[in-house]
Structure 1
Amino acid sequence: MCVFCLIHYRRVFSTVYFFYIHACTYVTSFVITVKAFLRAWDDLCGATGGRPTLVIPHGKEFLLSPLSFKGPCKSKNLWIQLQGTLVAPGSMNAWDDNNKEKWIQFMQVNGLTIYGGGQIDGQGKIWWDYCQALSFHSCNNLRVSGLQHVNSQKNHISINGCNDVDISHLKITAPEESPNTDGIDISASNHLQIHDSFIGTGDDCVAINGFSSYINISRVLCGPGHGISIGSLGKGGAYETVEEVHVEDCTFKGTMNGARIKTWKGGRGYARKISFERIRMINAGNPIIIDQTYVNRMAAASRDVEISDVSYKGVIGSSTDARAVYFNCGDGAGCRNIVVEDVEMTSAVAGKQLFAVCNNAHGTSSADRSPRVPCLLP
């Protein structure tokens, strides 16, 4: 791996500012790399007119230690055109212990668009369980599109405390056995659109955590991985909420789970107004699952995160598990207003019959579909 010495400069075409980072010579330390990116960011963030754009050129690799791009910025619209490749250090000695939680971080930057067909390479295995590859904190009006993310250290993309986010046309990959490599991890964020993307990792393709709402996910191919998950919620008795999550026109291929909601026993709060519509399962495990005892370390607790108003409509395909529908709700109020309509699943194993298992789930279900869900029938 070569590390490039970088310089930055600007060109002005009409009212458009371009800040270029380009390779000039080889060096043995990537300190210069980080400083050059931060100098270019300072100019970009301080620009006031036109369409300020930072260009990271095609055909170049830039080795980066952890760095943060901080706002607020003067312009309400900033653009980063990533055409080259950003690469994490290949040695644990390259990072100090204080910088292992996040690799590339944007904080309090509004009106940011990142696009361009480039790649973000987290260098995978040595960093699994350590840090988030690309994270956004308190970034409103955020757009991310057209990028490739490979071998993240932990979460590929983390969205926290953001409002009005559109993520599209991404390719996110990590080995199936890689731990905690969520594709997109969302927390405390609202009004997100995730669409037209491929996500195949070792954990959740999309994870939606507490205090998030109005999340729309469409035309996503998920697999391998652990499916699209609400939660987990209520860890250690915590109060957390998720609502207005809608997943449609998505495919799960070879995933450990499909459409999943998971909460801890003893948690507080709610998950409600959630829908999965026009979903295709291809050899997926646990295609439809609600688990209110995801981790049952507070078995004596009588309370649960309340789950209600959840619908599964038009879910078709094949299941690797005979138990294709599993509603494992708590002993208290259970799960309320669960709707299962037009679900038509077959077994991935020839001749095996599918079935549903319910515990304290209440709602309605189509009577003539497979598998039948007796607990929800009138």
Structure 2
Amino acid sequence: MPQHPTAEPTKAQIQRWRKYLADEVAEGAIYRALAEKKTGQERQILLGLAEAEARHESHWRTLLGEHAKEVSPSLRRTMLRFLALHFGSVFVLAMAQRSESSSPYRNDKDATAQMAADEQVHEEVVRALATAGRARLSGNFRAAVFGANDGLVSNLALIMGIGATGVSSAFVLFSGIAGLLAGALSMAAGEYVSVRSQRELLTASRPTQVTLTAAPNLDLDANELVLIYKARGMSDEDAEHRAAERMGLFTCDCNPDFSLNPEGRGEELEKEHQELGSATGAATTSFLLFASGAVVPILPYIFGLSGLAAIIVSVVLVGIALMITGGIVGLLSGASPFKRGLRQLAIGWGAAAVTYCLGLIFDVSVS
């Protein structure tokens, strides 16, 4: 229940309460905006969160009384609201999870214990919703981010090493293009072989229809079909049930669930087969993803820069890209986007620094 103030609030309290009020209004709007794009249970959950934020909003309005002047929410919540209105929900939920986890209510005596508990529950609810979104997105999107990141780091390290030797800018550009093509083709070839091998493995593992063609001629007393179903992982009773069904004998009082799936593991393998996609498609995607990252370090050389200026611009461009890819990975994993961005930046620049120092050792410039 909202608390009623017993004394005139201080200026610090009014300022703090107004901030809380603005943030609660923004959070409610965020959840309602996300709910507009959802259906079913997920929509109801988001609307439930919005209702809880409305209760918290009412608490602060009651405490503020005549001082309940609307103020702007924090920059984080303003950005979240914009994203919720115009983009997908996965990143919004990931950021909302972090906002809920940093609620100040547990340490603020002006907030009720129920409100603090609500925020703790909200964090877990948003975590669950974000986890479901991450599961739908993480496979392909994670591959895209890491593919581009590989191109960024490897080609930056290559041109830094080559550039430090003192060779001409044209040679550095050629090396960067060669590195782009070599890395992209290697990634594509590896992905093609990997997907093709997995598809061949699944094909070899997929059950055939031998049970349909051979059943009429089998010995009823030495039913070999039982061995097939046991080999596919069924228990003795379930294998006998399936074999009796195939032979037209329905006298086995076993597990009837297997009758719903004629070939047991077959449908599961077929689903895995379809989810893999084509080897050619996977190879093409890997090529493009790697190339999209690898082209960034050589952009200064493409536009005519040379020497130290080209190296500095290349390092800055790659640094920005690494912060972006690291931040995205951080959002998907529920970690701090800034910290993950810094980690990616340190790794990429660290690798480039090593090859640059190596290039200085093998200086081939003519004095």
Q: Given the two structures, how large is their TM-score scaled by the length of structure 2?
A: 0.22
Bigger Cα Rg: 2
Larger strand share, 1 or 2 = 1
Q: Which has the higher contact order (CA 8 A, sep 6+)?
A: 2
